[in-house]
Amino acid sequence: MSGPSQPIFRFAPSPNGFLHLGHAYSALFTAHWARVLGGVMLLRIEDIDIARCRPEFVAALYDDLDWLGLSWPEPVRRQSEHFGDYERAAGYLRQMGLLYPCFCSRTEIRAAAGDASDPEGAPVYPGTCRALTGAERAVRLASGAPVQWRLDMEAAMAQSSRLEIRETHPDPAAPVTTRKAEPGRWGDVVIVRKDTPTSYHLSVVVDDALQGVTHVTRGMDLYAATDIHVLLQALLDLPSPLYCHHDLVRDEAREKLSKSKGSASLRDLRADGWTPARVRTALGF
pLDDT per residue rounded down to tens, the chain (285 residues): 344 479 999 999 999 999 999 999 999 999 999 999 999 999 999 999 988 999 999 999 999 999 999 999 999 999 999 999 999 999 999 999 999 999 999 999 999 999 999 999 999 999 999 999 999 999 999 999 999 999 999 999 999 878 999 999 888 788 999 999 999 999 999 999 998 999 999 999 999 999 999 999 999 999 999 999 999 999 999 999 999 999 999 876 667 777 666 678 999 999 999 999 999 999 999
pLDDT of 1: 38
Residue 17 three-state SS: coil
Kindly give the residue spans of alpha helices, DSSP state H, lying in 68-219. Answer: 83-95, 106-113, 134-142, 153-158, 200-210
- Is 11 within 8 Å of 41 (Cβ atoms)? yes
Size (the chain), residues:
285
CB under 8 Å to 60, separation ≥6 — which residues?
A: 15, 18, 19, 267
Cα separation, 213 vs 231, in Å, equals 17
Structural element, H or E, at residue 271? helix 266-271
Residue 254 per-residue DSSP state: S
Q: How many CA atoms lie within 13 A of 198 on its CB side?
A: 25
**Angle between helix 226-235 and helix 200-210 axes, rounded to 10 deg:** 60
CB under 8 Å to 44, separation ≥6 — which residues?
A: 10, 11, 12, 76, 77, 78, 79, 207, 211
